[in-house]
Structure 1
Amino acid sequence: MTCSSRVTLFLCLTAWLSLQVWPDPVFEGDVLTQQCQGRRNAALSQVKFHRDRKLLRFSKDNQPLSTGTATVKSSGRYSCAGQVTSGRHVNKWASGTVMVQVQELFPPPVLSAIPSHEPREGSPVTLKYQMKLHPKRLASGLLLSFHKEDHTLQDRGLHPELCIPAAQEGDSGRYWCEAAPEGGGVQKQSPWLEIRVWAPVSSPLLTLRPRPTGLAVGYRVELLCEAQRGSPPILYSFYLSGEMLGNHMALRGGAASFLFLVKSEQDAGNYTCKAKNRVSEETSKPETLSVDGYHEQHNQPTEGFKAVGT
């Protein structure tokens, strides 16, 4: 074959060299190795390895090139060039391009909470990862670590789940997991999973101010309702003889109060309040308000709610 035209000349040049790349196929974590070879095992020297036309390494005596642990970013168009010695003649040649596509060994893990990432206090929660290896590498196996914030809960185990038998408020926080194949090479982390354990509200205490006996029309009364325990936000509702007067949301917990003016004997009766959050609802014991006569009060307060506490 003669090299009279530019196209034929290129084919003639590249025919002298070839680039061997292994393994094939190549996955994340594999050691990617390249070898530049001359036709008929011609001696090569001054070899340059390129990826996407950028120099990777120079080898004076044509040593194989190991680019280390492969990642998806290692994908690209690889080639080599060097001097070919034939008798007393030394020529510079280049190989053709080899397209290397590094395959993902496994996607980043996804951590989920079963049955919910917002469990009620005392209920079990199971953290489970979801992912799988590439079908050609299923035999490798994966080691999994579970973490909460910056603490390791389970280190490099084969079990895909972490069980919290009876979740407590202290178990609330951000969880994540890390996966790596046996033998290492690749490590991938899951996104954060926020766990919030909800403590049920305790039975609220209703307090009437002033004392609920012997009040007269014209008095102002405060109904103070507080649940000593429970995850916020807490919705407080106030009732007179079973009929709702109104409600108020305590976003940060604590107590809430309802202010009103005694206008008639119809304001007498049994008052209660309810405390409710995401997982439970409790009702206070009733407090009885009696109305007797009239009371002159010129500075009458605005009726309504106010939050109390944190």
Structure 2
Amino acid sequence: MLLRLLLLICAPLCEPTELFLKPSPSQTIEGNSMTLTCEIQPRLQTSKAQLQFCFFKDNGALKSGWNSSPELRILAMWTKDSGSYWCEAKTAKATTTIRSRRLWIQVQRVPVSDVSLETQPPGGHVTEGKKLVLVCSVAKGTGNITFLWYKGAMGLKLGTKTKHALTAEFEILTARENDTEQYYCAANNGFGLSLSGLVSITVRIPVSRPVLTLRTTGAQAVVGDMVELHCEAQRGSPPVLYQFYLKDVTLGSSWASSTGGASFNLSLTAERSGNYSCEASNGLEAQHSEAVPLIITVPTENRRDLLTSGVIEGLLGILGPTTFVLLFCYCLKRKIGRRSARESLRSTSSPLPQDSTYLNSPTPVPLQPVYGNVNTLSGDDIYSLVYSTQLEQESPAEPPRTLSKDKVSLPIYSKLKKITVIDMDYDDAV
């Protein structure tokens, strides 16, 4: 019984068997995973738990060593992993092993493709003194890739890096004005160089502090003349915006698309004396010039006119309110006076004229005017009636004469301002 049991255990190993190594996938691409399987044909009737497997490459065992699994998974295969592979199997207590045939495994490399160059900051614009980064990338490519950077169409080589990656960076720590140029990069993983397109890099220069120059037509700045304000920054990437100021008040602005600065023309008046300045900016940093004083000369006649107008304006400013108050008081007083006069006139009766009498006298008596108010009002006019009488001497031979009504002269009205006098003259009867 013991002998029969030994024969049953040893029979599978005594039969002719063969061990095979199978990779999956059959063609390995660099960077991909691969699984190695160790198979026995015909299959042993012994339980798998009683078998041990080991995988080998070239002349050495792989790190997995002996274990009960007939499979070995390699996460990533690279060109350096290309070589001769095989496996061995044995029972747990057996002293003999079965070896598979050697299998050559070639890891396939993918050539680089779609090489491109990008910049940081984006757009290819960098400020002078700042860092510029050139990023070279490939869409496809396996294994170690060598990246190269070039400046200018003639291909001035800047640097080289080899990385097991699809991107690499080249840095220009401090950009200068002469770094304004076209750039490109290249990549190679053993199949030859693959080039990117050209990328233009522009290094922008901040404006320097501008200088303001005032140009007048004569030796002195006189009212009515024209003055040219010229502002210019020696350095700065165009376009540059120039703005002009008088005592921090903006006068105008002008763009300059090239070097040489910009100008602004101004007509001079007496109020435009003061400190002038200008500002330059190209979007990076604004710079302000120093102040330039300008004294405007006023001609003598203009000065007299300005002085007169100033005095008049000052007097009007002072006397205006006072004059208004006085006029108001005067009008009020006048209105009150007119009302009193009207009331007095209405209350006074007008005397009737009396017949002139003649007295004996050696000499004629001059006319004696008799005044009487006429109770008549027309607007603001007041009329007075004046009667003139004359006393004459009567001769003894002549009879007494009486006043003849037909010889009475017509009343004469004289319209005066405010008071009108009416003169009635009684002539002697003929």
Indicate whether the TM-score tops 0.5: yes
TM-score by length of 2: 0.41
2:144 to 126, 133, 141: 141
1:110 Cα shift?
1.8
After the TM superposition, which residues 1-310 of structure 1 pair with which residues of structure 2 at under 5 Å, given as runs?
A: 105-116=111-122, 117-134=124-141, 138=142, 140-149=143-152, 150-154=154-158, 156-158=160-162, 160-181=168-189, 183=190, 185-210=191-216, 214-262=220-268, 264-294=269-299
Larger Rg: 2
Q: Distance in 1 between matches of 2:114 and 2:149?
A: 14
Segments of 4+ in structure 1 off by > 4 A?
23-27, 211-214
The count of aligned residue pairs is 192
Structure 2, unpaired ranges of 5+: 1-25, 31-108, 302-430
Structure 1, unpaired ranges of 5+: 1-22, 28-102, 297-310
Q: Distance in 1 between matches of 2:157 and 2:300?
A: 65
Q: Distance in 2 between matches of 1:118 and 1:126?
A: 11
Stretch moving more, 265-274 or 171-180: 265-274
TM-score by length of 1: 0.56
Structure with the larger RCO, 1 or 2 (CA within 8 Å, 6+ apart)? 1
Q: Distance in 2 between matches of 1:154 and 1:128?
A: 13
**For the Cα contact (< 8 Å) 2:188–2:194, is it kept in 1?**
yes
**For the Cα contact (< 8 Å) 2:209–2:289, is it kept in 1?**
yes
Query: Which amino acid in structure 2 is aligned with residue 278 of structure 1?
Result: G
Q: Distance in 2 between matches of 1:211 and 1:104?
A: 77
Q: Distance in 2 between matches of 1:218 and 1:290?
A: 13
Query: Which amino acid in structure 1 is aligned with residue 298 of structure 2?
Result: G
**For the Cα contact (< 8 Å) 1:217–1:265, is it kept in 2?**
yes
Are the structure 2 counterparts of residues 179 and 151 from structure 1 closer, same or farther at C-alpha, using a change threshold of 3 Å?
A: same
Query: Which amino acid in structure 2 is aligned with residue 125 of structure 1?
Result: L
Query: What percentage of aligned pairs have identical amino acids?
Result: 32
SS, match of residue 170 in structure 1: helix
**For the Cα contact (< 8 Å) 1:272–1:283, is it kept in 2?**
yes
**For the Cα contact (< 8 Å) 1:216–1:295, is it kept in 2?**
no
Q: Deviations over 1:246-289 (max 9, x none)?
A: 21111112211111221x22222221111111322100001112
**For the Cα contact (< 8 Å) 2:114–2:139, is it kept in 1?**
no
Query: Which amino acid in structure 1 is aligned with residue 181 of structure 2?
Result: G
